[in-house]
Structures are given as C-alpha cells and as structure tokens.
Amino acid sequence: MSSEIFIWPFNLGLYFILIYSVVRSTIWFRSLSRADKLRLQRGFFGMPFMQSIREIFMESLLHRRIFKKNPVLGYMHMSLAFGWFLLIVFGTIEADFFGEKHLNPPSHAIFFRWFNPEHGASGLASVFTQWMDFLLAFILSGLLLAIIKRFIPGMMGMKKTTKHTWTDRIALTSLWLIFPSRLLAESFTCGVHGSGGFLTGNLGAALASFLPAADMAPWFWWLYSLSLGTFFFLLPVTRYFHIPVELLLIFMRNSGITTADRWSAYSEVQTHACSSCGICISVCQMSRAAGINDMQSAYFIKGLRNERDIAAITANCLMCGRCDEVCPVGIELGPLRLIERRQGERPATRLKFIDRYGLTRRREQIEREPTQSYSYLVPEEEQQADVLFFAGCMTHLTPSVIVAMKKIMDSAGVRYRFMDEQGGVCCGRPLMLAGRDREARELINHNSDIIWKSGAKTLVTSCPICYKVFRESYYLEAQVMHHSEFINLLIEEGSLRLGYLHRRVVYHDPCDLGRGSGIYDEPRAVISYVAELQPVPEERSMSLCCGGSLGNLTLSSEKRALIAADAAGTLTRSAPDELITACPLCKKTFAQATETRVSDIAELVAVALPKPVRRTRSRSLANTVKVVADGL
C-alpha cells in the first residue's frame, strides 16, 4: 500500500507552505530598492552566502546566542530546531536508502515507519533505527522544557514571556502535538510488528501488551499528519513564520541590507522574523523597574505584523537599545520604532487607522494641520576657531559640567570657542527621536552653517545625545568628539597635568555614548587615570538606561523615578564614593535617585587639576606643628 489518505493533511500543508514562502519571498524581493536588489544578487554569488549558511547553522539551528544567555533556554531551542532538522535529514536518507525506491516524496520519509513497519531488524538498518529514536528523544526533551517554560518562565532566566494570540495558541498546540504523536504512532506500529529502536521498540512492546496496537496505530498516524498539516497551514499567520523568514533575514543582512530610516521590504522581513521569544521583555527596564509589560519590542513587532493601532506602544519606549543588544534574531528594533514614529506623527498610520472607520472629515483636518518651521532662525556671524565647544541644551541645565570643561580646557591651553554660550540652537536629535525629521533638518542646517564657517578642526560636545547626531546626521569636516574622548586625548598628548584622587568610583555608560556610539574605553581610561574605577553589574553594551531618556515622551515621572532608582541602586551596589557618568541627562536623573554623589566625568577631572598654590605662612606653620605632633 503506497498511498494512505492520512498523509494528505501533511502533504497539503507542506505544499501550501512551500508555495506560500516562494511567493512571499518573490513579493518582498520585487519591492526592495534597486540598490538592495543588487546587494542581494551580489551576495548570492559571494562571501555573504557562505556567511549566511554558517550563521543559519549557528543561530537558527544551534541557537548559540540564546545558549550564551541561558544554557537551558539554548538547549530547548537547539533540541527543537537542530533535532527536527536532523530528523528530517536522516529521515530522508533513511527513506532513500531503505525505501522501495530512491527519491521518494517527503511523505515517505516523514511516515517511513508506517510504510516500512518491519524495518530495522539488523545491520545498518538497526543502527539507523536507534539513531532516529535518539533524535526523537532529543526533540522530546526540548519539548518538555518548552512546556515547563510556558508555565514557569523564571526557570530559564526569563522574567516574562509573551502573551499569545489565539492563532498562535492553536499553532503552538499543533507544534507540541507533532512529536508526541509521532512517538506514539511509531511505537504502536513497532509494537504490532515487534520492531523499533530503544524508544519506539520498548514503548511499543509495552503498549501492545495491554492495548489493541494494530487498531490504535492509524489514529496516531492521523494525529501526526494533522498536527503537521495544521502547523504548516497556520504558519504564515503565526509567530512561527519566523522559522522560514529568519533564513531570508540572515541572508539579506549578510548581503549588507540595513533598516535605514524608511519602511521597506527589509523592515517587513524583520517583523516576520521575530519569534516573540520575549527576551526583549526580560531586559526592558520599563518591565523590571516600572511594571510596564505590554510596550516591549515583541509587542511592537507583533502589532506591526498584524497591522494593529500601536501608536501608544510605539511612543512608550526609552529608546535605550538594550533589546537591540539581546535580540537573538538581530532585528533592528530601535530603527524600526523610529520609522513607525515618523509615520505616526505624519498622517500615514493615523490615516490608515482613520480610513478603516471612514472618518473622512478628520482626515481632511489632519491633512490641513500645519507643520512647524524654524525659518525664523537667522544665520550667525562668521567666527573662526580651532576647537568649538558645544555644550547642548541639557548641559546648560548642568552648569557644573560647563564650569568643569572650561577649567579643563583652560588648564590644557586649548584655544576654543564656546559655540552656544549665549544659548544656541538644539542639535536636532530630540526632534528626530520624536519622528520629526524635516524640522530636525532645519536645526541641523543652521548649526552646520556655524560649524563650517568657523573652520574648526574639532567639535567637542558634552552631551552624548548631541554627539550621536553630530556624528551621524551632520556633514562636517570637523572631527566630532565627546568630551570624554577629548579629555582622553588631552591626557595622552600630555597637555593636562592631573593629580590622583583617592576615591572609589563607578561609571555609568550613557545609552547614546555607549550602545549608541560605541564609546566605552575612553571614559574608562580618563576615570582610571584620576581615580579608582570599580566594575558594575551591567555595563558597556548592557548598560542600564538612567530613566531620563528623551526618547520617551509618554512615560510618567513616577515611572521614570522608579526606573532611575532601580538603575542607580544597581550601579551603587558596591557603595562607591561617587557615581560618574558622561551625560548631563543621566547626571540630572541620577541626582534625584540616589544619595551617592553623582558627577560628570569632566567634574571628576576638574577636581584632579592642580590647585593654584596659595599657602600662607601661619598655615604652613600650623601644618608643621601638626606633622611634628603626629610624629611624636
């Protein structure tokens, strides 16, 4: 009997998902920009292809990144993905080797035991049977962990796990049913025929001893086929679509395609490649410190995928970038959120939402809404300088940083001009974070004009927020430096003479300086030069957000205070003398959140500057007396 009816749910599902994947990929490919199409074509015949194969093996099958985060969680993912992969590969080989003919349809490999119930009695066939049983046991062990994780997420280092839609639940159920039903189907068949390996053979014999195995077997083969078929059919509308899409994503990324700042096919591929694993929820400080559990990237991506109204989710994010760091799929979560914010502010998303409800009058109103303009800004007079110092709006709120920077630059003999001493124009980044690119560009043009006219070689800023936008969105000849880099340069050049302060300090990496711009070492070098720098629990790329972020305009002050207190508590766990940061916003935020003294790196360095000698005779006499007295 070569064709049974029960194989058809599986067959239909498989052919459906294969055709669907091809069609979907073609649509995505066609909507890529010309440049991205070329990147992909070039990638296919070059190194990116090999890199992708390697990455697919390491990440999609072995799940190395998840392994690093938590070995049990990694094992769970690996056993399901890699185990299933091996089961398919060796199942196909087995069917090809021992089947009736070569090049069987996939169903023959999947339901091999049904078609060859006596197989595996001796020789190589028995080795194969044992191996296939081992693979099944390997997968089942992972499945057991998955079930445990669903009910006790804490066991695998996950604080929270994502909430599922009902389609996800059905797909999840069918996925969970696939392997147990295969186990029982094979066992019953083996039980009837006295065949099978250590797992199916023994279980089959045991079951056959008290159950009518011959009658039961077809039921489980049906269940096995139905589970597979259901899973394949639901795949495109559930989170499990990430399995095929992730392969495409890896290939696209390795070919050099990036999210950039506009919605594209690549953005769509990324939203479909999200597995909703929930790792982003666990690292999110809004979750761990402020109890907000429904705004994280997994929900943002899910909302995008299902085209829900996610304006509230899109806005409620600190944009600290911790989730970008840990995403096992490597989705560019921050840039995607920024794209959505831009569309949210402009009519696009709102119109889509409004159209659905036919509110045309409101639509006309939105289209008439005026946009802001900074056309009233007058260009400034030309003023020459070697070094320009741009404090930025936030640094103007922390005047001690300005005072310290002036002292340091004067002490090092830097000839500088303080670009915004009398109040300048914003760097433009807060507007960009709010998705108002056009208005931001007006400010960028205004500032660029001043910087170009000055002929400065170096632009120093005390604010990481300004620093990032100067580096990324301005076209300047001047080298942009954060003041921590600049101070480090002055120390290395030997222009600064500094004393050593006997203080134990910790350093907080500001989001935009660390994760945002990759500046981790210079601030540490500067601090270590003048004080004893102690490590903190979460630093460098996993540094915490202070909670004061400009990236979130909807979070309440109370929630911000909770995040700040939690972060400050983590940073000052070792009871340091001082908490050092390199961002005026972090400084202001932490100053309200901890009893520990909070200073900017520039303030710390300014204290280490040599003091002007001003000693009176009586004072030195008093000191001498004291020294003599101590000596006695």
Partner 1 sequence: MKEKRKHVIVAGGGVAGMEAAGSLAEMGIRVTLVEKGEDPGGHLLQWHALFPGRRPAEEVRKYLRKRIAHENINVITRTTVEKIRHHGHEVIADLSGGKQERADAVIVATGFDLFDAHRKEEYGYGIYDNVITSADLEDMFNRKKVARADGSPPSRIGFIHCVGSRDEKVNNNHCSKVCCVTAVKQAIEVRKLLPESEVFCFYMDMRMFGPYYEELYRESQEVHNVNYIRGKVSEASVNINNRLVIKVEDTLAGRPLKMELDLMVLMVGMEMSKPGTRLAEASGLNTGINRFLESADHHYGSNLSGVAGIFYAGTCTAPMNITDTISHSRAAVEETVRYLGGR
| Residue where the block lists tokens 């294969």 | 18
Residues 20-59 that bind partner 1 (CB under 8 A): none
> Virtual CA dihedral for 548, 553, 555, 557, nearest 10 degrees?
60
**Nearest to partner 1 of 312, 403 (CB atom):** 403
Please give the structure tokens belonging to residue 174. Answer: 């069918």
Q: In the complex, what is the shortest distance from the CB of residue 422 to partner 1, in angstroms, rounded to a whole number?
A: 8
Q: In the complex, what is the shortest distance from the CB of residue 597 to partner 1, in angstroms, rounded to a whole number?
A: 10
Region binding partner 1 by CB under 8 A among candidate stretches 149-157, 186-194, 260-268, 395-403? 395-403
**Nearest to partner 1 of 118, 421 (CB atom):** 421
Spell out, one character per residue from 413 to 442, where the chain touches partner 1: x when CB under 8 A holds, - when not.
Answer: --------x-x-------------------
Please check whether residue 601 is in contact with residue 619, taking contact to mean a CB–CB distance below 8 angstroms.
no
- The H helix count followed by the E strand count for the chain is 32, 8
**Nearest to partner 1 of 396, 441 (CB atom):** 396
**Nearest to partner 1 of 58, 561 (CB atom):** 561
Region binding partner 1 by CB under 8 A among candidate stretches 71-79, 170-178, 276-284, 394-402? 394-402
Region binding partner 1 by CB under 8 A among candidate stretches 133-141, 200-208, 270-278, 399-407? 399-407
Of residues 29, 259, 292, 65, the one with CA closest to residue 159? 292
Intra-chain end-to-end CA distance of the chain, in Å: 108
Strand intervals (E) in 508-583: 532-534, 578-581
Please give the structure tokens belonging to residue 140. Answer: 């089942």
| Amino acid at the residue 313 | I
Tell me how crowded residue 495 is: count the other CB atoms within 10 A of its CB.
15
Choosing from 293, 400, 534, 570, the residue that interacts with partner 1 (CB under 8 A) is: 400
The helix-helix angle for 242-254 and 47-55 (nearest 10°) equals 140
- As a whole number of angstroms, the distance between CA 454 and CA 389 comes to 12
**Nearest to partner 1 of 105, 399 (CB atom):** 399
Choosing from 226, 304, 319, 402, the residue that interacts with partner 1 (CB under 8 A) is: 402
Please give the structure tokens belonging to residue 485. Answer: 């880099």
Residues 261-280 that bind partner 1 (CB under 8 A): none
| Amino acid at the residue 632 | L
Of residues 331, 328, 332, 330, the one with CA closest to residue 64? 328
Please check whether residue 507 is in contact with residue 539, taking contact to mean a CB–CB distance below 8 angstroms.
yes
Is 221 buried (19+), middle (13-18) or exposed (0-12) by CB count in 10 A? buried
Q: In the complex, what is the shortest distance from the CB of residue 324 to partner 1, in angstroms, rounded to a whole number?
A: 28
**Nearest to partner 1 of 554, 557 (CB atom):** 557
358 is a site residue for partner 1 (CB under 8 A)? no
Spell out, one character per residue from 578 to 617, where the chain touches partner 1: x when CB under 8 A holds, - when not.
Answer: ---------xx--xx-------------------------
Q: In the complex, what is the shortest distance from the CB of residue 401 to partner 1, in angstroms, rounded to a whole number?
A: 9
Interface size with partner 1, residues (CB under 8 A): 15
What stretch of H or E contains 435?
none
Please give the structure tokens belonging to residue 363. Answer: 């639509």
Residues 522-561 that bind partner 1 (CB under 8 A): 557, 561
The three-state secondary structure class of 625 is helix
Q: In the complex, what is the shortest distance from the CB of residue 592 to partner 1, in angstroms, rounded to a whole number?
A: 6
Residues 458-517 that bind partner 1 (CB under 8 A): none
Please check whether residue 271 is in contact with residue 340, taking contact to mean a CB–CB distance below 8 angstroms.
no
**Nearest to partner 1 of 31, 557 (CB atom):** 557
**Nearest to partner 1 of 19, 397 (CB atom):** 397
CB proximity list for 442: less than 8 A, separation 6 or greater:
373, 374, 375, 377
Q: In the complex, what is the shortest distance from the CB of residue 593 to partner 1, in angstroms, rounded to a whole number?
A: 9
Q: In the complex, what is the shortest distance from the CB of residue 374 to partner 1, in angstroms, rounded to a whole number?
A: 14
Spell out, one character per residue from 171 to 200, where the chain touches partner 1: x when CB under 8 A holds, - when not.
Answer: ------------------------------
- As a whole number of angstroms, the distance between CA 246 and CA 254 comes to 12
| Contact set with partner 1 (CB under 8 A) | 396-400, 402-403, 421, 423, 557, 561, 587-588, 591-592
